[in-house]
Amino acid sequence: MNSNLKTLFLSVFLILTILGCSDRKTKSIPQNPYLKELTEKQIGETNYYISIPKKYTIKENRGPDFSVYYFFPIDTTDTASFSGGFYFGNYPSLFEASSDSCKTEKRKSNILNKDTDWTVYNCNGKYSIQSIVESGSNEGWNHYIHAFANANSTADLKKIFLILETMKRKKSNKQPK
């Protein structure tokens, strides 16, 4: 009887171990703690939202058929470790590296839930990034979004990519007149 108990115990132990291991495979990956420091804000009057640091704001420069939105610290006397923005319009154009000594690399990251190619310029440890994506808005005037940002370190570069990954489009609650 003693060996039957050992066999039963061993069987139960193995089953629980196997179930426990398979359960770990289905658990979601924990979120980056930095995301808790961000707050979601609407980008101008668009249906787009992004999560930025609580001490940051978004300002708009409007053109005849485009808008450019910038996010940066509310306190303009603060030296920003990163900043960024978005061009919404039909005629985006990529910028070049600020110096011939800058190293250029391509990187993949999400924006608007799309796997996107980004150009990263490393200019002596200061970074500029950019990408152009289709907006999916079907509004006519803003077929493309040119996302861009600057970061003063690799740690800030990681933060800016996390911020840009939070960008999303929400359905409008406005009723047609």
pLDDT at 138: 78
Domain that holds residue 71: 33-169
pLDDT at 111: 94
Q: Is residue 1 part of a domain?
A: no
Q: Is residue 4 part of a domain?
A: no
pLDDT in tens, 38-65: 999 999 999 999 999 999 999 999 998 8
DSSP letters along 76-139, please? TTSPPSEEEEEEEES---PPPPSSTT-EEEEEEEEETTEEEEEEEEEETTEEEEEEEEE-----
Question: The domain that contains 83 carries what CATH number?
Answer: 2.60.120.1690
**What are the CA-CA distances from residue 64 to residues 24, 89, 90, 153 (Å)?**
53, 10, 12, 35
Task: Report the DSSP beta bridge partners of residue 121.
Answer: 104, 128
pLDDT in tens, 14-39: 555 555 554 444 455 567 888 888 99
Stretches in the chain below the pLDDT threshold 70: 1-30, 172-177
In the numeric block, the tokens 């070049």 are attached to: 96
Taking the model in full, what pTM does it have? 0.78
